[in-house]
Amino acid sequence: KAKQLGKNQCVFFNNSIYEEFINSFALTNEILHGIEFEEFELYFQPIYNTHSRTITNAEALIRWNHPKRGLLSPFSFIPFAEQSYIIEKLDFYVLEKAFQAIKSFKQENLNIILSVNLTGRTFLMDNFVDQFRKLLSAYAIDTSFIKIELTESIALNDENKARNHMDALNSLGINFSMDDFGTGYSSILSLKKFPFSNIKLDQNFVMDSQNNKDSEIINSNLLNMLNELNFETTAEGVENEFLFFLFNYLPCDLLQGYFISKPVDYKRFVSFVKNFTPDIAFMEFKKDNTR
Ligand code: C2E
Ligand code: MG
Ligand code: MG
Ligand code: MG
C-alpha cells in the first residue's frame, strides 16, 4: 500500500509544472548535446519504382543513438523538438547529413532521389531560404536528387510564406512531396495551391485497403485522379505482399514499406540497392497485369 502511495506521489510530481519544466529543459540540453556530438544518424528507407522495378528513391529518417537509452525513434523526440527552435537545429542537421549522403551516393554511382522531412516551423523560418541556399552551396550536389516532404499543416499558419519558400526552392530545382496525404486536414482542393510534384498516401490509408473494400475503392480512384492531375504518387506502409501487388496494379509510381525494406543505416542501404532484384513471382505478376 505504502509503495503504491509512493508511486502515486511520484506521478503527481512528474505531472507538476515544475517537473515538466525541468524535464523539458533537460531534454532540450540532451538534444543540443546530441547534435554537437553527432548522436543523430540518418537511416534510409528504400523506395521501389513500379516503372523501372528498381530502387530509385529513398526517405531519410532520423534516429538517435542515445548514449544511455539506445537507438531512439523520432517519435520520442521530434514532437518535443517541434515545440521550440530545437526542431530548426535538428532539421538543418538532417539536411546537412542528407546532402552528404547524396554526395556519397553519387560517388558510389547510385542514382537515388532522397526525400527529407521538414517540419512546418523550420520551413517557415524567415531566413529559411537563405540558410538553405547557404548549406546547399557548401555541397556541390545536383538538386534534382533532393525531395522535400512537407505535411499540409505548413499552409495553416502562413499560406503565402509557404508558397514563396516552395517557389524559391523550386527554382533551385528541388521538388516537393506532400506527406501523409489522406489524414487530418489534407484537402484535395489545397493540392493545387502549392507546387507539390509528389503525393504520398498516408500509411494508415494504404494499409486499410488490406481488409476494407471501400478503402481500396477510395485509393484506386484517388490514384487515378492524382495521375490525371499529373502528380507522381507514393504509397507508404506497403507492409506485405498483398499491398505490394495491389499498389503495383493500381496506378502508383512509388512504393515504400516494410515489404520492400525497413529503414536501414547507410551501409546496409547501399548494399540493398546494389543487390536489389525484383522477386520472380512479382515479374510473373507484372506480365499478366500490364497496365
Ligand atoms: P513519415 O515521414 O510519415 O515517415 C514514415 C514512417 O513510417 C517512418 O517512421 C517509417 O519507418 C514508417 N514506415 C515505413 N514503412 C512502413 C511500414 O510498412 N509499416 C509501418 N508500420 N511503418 C512504416 P519513423 O522513421 O519512425 O518516422 C516517424 C515520423 O517521424 C516520420 O513520419 C516523420 O514525420 C518524422 N521524422 C522522421 N525523421 C524526421 C526528420 O529527419 N525530420 C523531421 N522533421 N521529422 C522526421
Ligand atoms: Mg515522410
Ligand atoms: Mg509519411
Ligand atoms: Mg506517416
pLDDT for position 4: 47
pLDDT for position 290: 41
Query: Which grid coordinates belong to 211?
Result: 481488409
User: If you measure from the C-alpha of residue 117 to the centroid of ligand 2, how many angstroms do you get, rounded to a whole number?
Assistant: 5
How, if at all, do strands 232-236 and 54-66 pair?
Answer: unpaired
Partners of 37 in beta bridges: none
Q: Is the CB of 151 under 6 A from ligand 1?
A: no
pLDDT for position 21: 73
pLDDT for position 186: 60
Task: From 61, 64, 152, 154, give the residue whose CB has the most ligand 1 atoms within 8 Å, as the site to mutate.
Answer: 61
Instruction: Tally Cβ neighbours within 10 Å of residue 287.
Output: 8
Mark the residues whose beta carbon lies below 5 A from ion ligand 4: 180
pLDDT for position 2: 42
Q: Is the CB of 166 under 6 A from ligand 1?
A: no
Sign of CA dihedral 236, 242, 244, 245: negative
Distance separating alpha carbons of residues 276 and 270, to the nearest angstrom: 10
The 10s digit of each residue's pLDDT in 179-194 is 999 876 666 777 888 9
Nearest CA to ligand 1 atom 7: 237
Q: Is the CB of 46 under 6 A from ligand 1?
A: no
Positions in the chain short of pLDDT 70 = 1-15, 184-187, 279-291
pLDDT for position 279: 63
Could you tell me which residues come within 8 angstroms of residue 78 by beta carbon, excluding any fewer than 6 positions away? 62, 87, 90, 119
User: If you measure from the C-alpha of residue 271 to the centroid of ligand 4, how many angstroms do you get, rounded to a whole number?
Assistant: 25
CA angle (51, 285, 233) in 5-degree steps: 35
pLDDT for position 153: 81
**Residues 208 and 246 sit within 8 Å (Cβ to Cβ):** no
Could you tell me which residues come within 8 angstroms of residue 138 by beta carbon, excluding any fewer than 6 positions away? 99
Shortest CA distance to 251 belongs to which of 56, 52, 113, 50?
A: 50
pLDDT for position 3: 45
Instruction: Name the one residue in this structure whose C-alpha cell is 531534454.
Output: 27
pLDDT for position 253: 98
DSSP string for the chain: -HHHHHHHHHHHHHHSHHHHHHHHHHHHHHHHHHHHTT-EEEEEEEEEETTTTEEEEEEEEEEEEETTTEEE-GGGTHHHHTTSTHHHHHHHHHHHHHHHHHHHHHHTT---EEEEE--HHHHT-TTHHHHHHHHHHHS---GGGEEEEE-TTHHHH-HHHHHHHHHHHHTTT-EEEEEEETSTT--HHHHTTTT--EEEEPHHHHHGGGT-HHHHHHHHHHHHHHHHTT-EEEEE---SHHHHHHHHHTT-SEEESTTT---B-HHHHHHHHHH----HHHHHHHHHT--
